[in-house]
Amino acid sequence: MAGGSGRNCSSSRESGGEILNFLERKRAIGMLQTPTEVIGVTGRYSRRTGLDFRGAAPLAYLVGEAAAPEYEATTQAAFERGSQVEFYAPTPTTGEWWHVVKVPVGDYLVLEARVATRDELCLAARNHLAKALGSVAAPGLSDDEIVTWLRLQALAHCQPEESVSREQLLHEGGRSTRTISRHLKSLQAVGALQLERGSTGYWVRRKQVTLAAHPQPSLKRGLGAS
């Protein structure tokens, strides 16, 4: 068990169960894990993702093979710092983005997530693209183009063995495949995307599976009160 504290196995299991019970009482999208293994998830996590979770499993089972290395890196960073880490990430099954908070508690890392809003995701994506492309390119993109970028990244993450079609990318600000095509051209023109065209859709090169998030109130305070 990571971050070993010398406690015996039974007390560690009991502590883990208490943490999961706390997250269940909050009706949280929650997970209990070590740097490489998931110990348990809340009912809301299972219902939201549609994943059938029974017992401990490798982290890749829940977050996907493609995202596992980056998730493990954020987990290890939280243990090493002994403090909360936060980021936005697409879910492994639904294509939506979550705001994720991870906090080390004893032998474990506790994850709590919520569905991120369009406004906060657009801001986070703009900040990311401004750093990656320079401050000139990102402001030239519209919010609707940014949402297309976010949807494409999320879908490429949750269906890594399949290409993403223009029909899958439709959203409120991109209601036709023609509009989506314009968005993709704009994104490629500024270097925000590297795409490979397949027979049924697009393959994304250099996927982005996390975005930096602004700090939120500490989850650990609530856990301490449990």
Give per-residue pLDDT as tens, 162-216. 899 999 999 999 999 999 999 999 999 988 998 998 888 999 887 887 898 876 6
In a domain, 2, yes or no: no
* pLDDT > 90 in the chain, percent: 42
Tell me which residue of 1, 6, 217 sits closest to 112, measured CA to CA: 217
Alpha carbon of residue 38 to chain centroid: 15
Task: Read off the tokens for 143.
Answer: 């919010």
The tally of domains found in the chain comes to: 2
User: What's this model's pTM, rounded to 2 decimal places?
Assistant: 0.81
Question: Is there a single domain that holds both residue 196 and residue 177?
Answer: yes
Provide the pLDDT for residue 137: 62
Residue 26, exposed/middle/buried by CB under 10 A (0-12, 13-18, 19+)?
Answer: middle
- Give the up-direction half-sphere exposure of residue 215: CA atoms within 13 A in the CB hemisphere: 6
Print the domain residue range for 29: 9-117+216-225
Please report, for the domain that includes residue 198, its CATH number: 1.10.10.10
In which band, very low, low, confident or very high, does the pLDDT at 218 lie, cut at 50, 70 and 90? low
pLDDT single digits (tens) 16-51: 889 999 999 999 999 998 878 889 999 999 999 888
pLDDT greater than 70 at residue 222: no
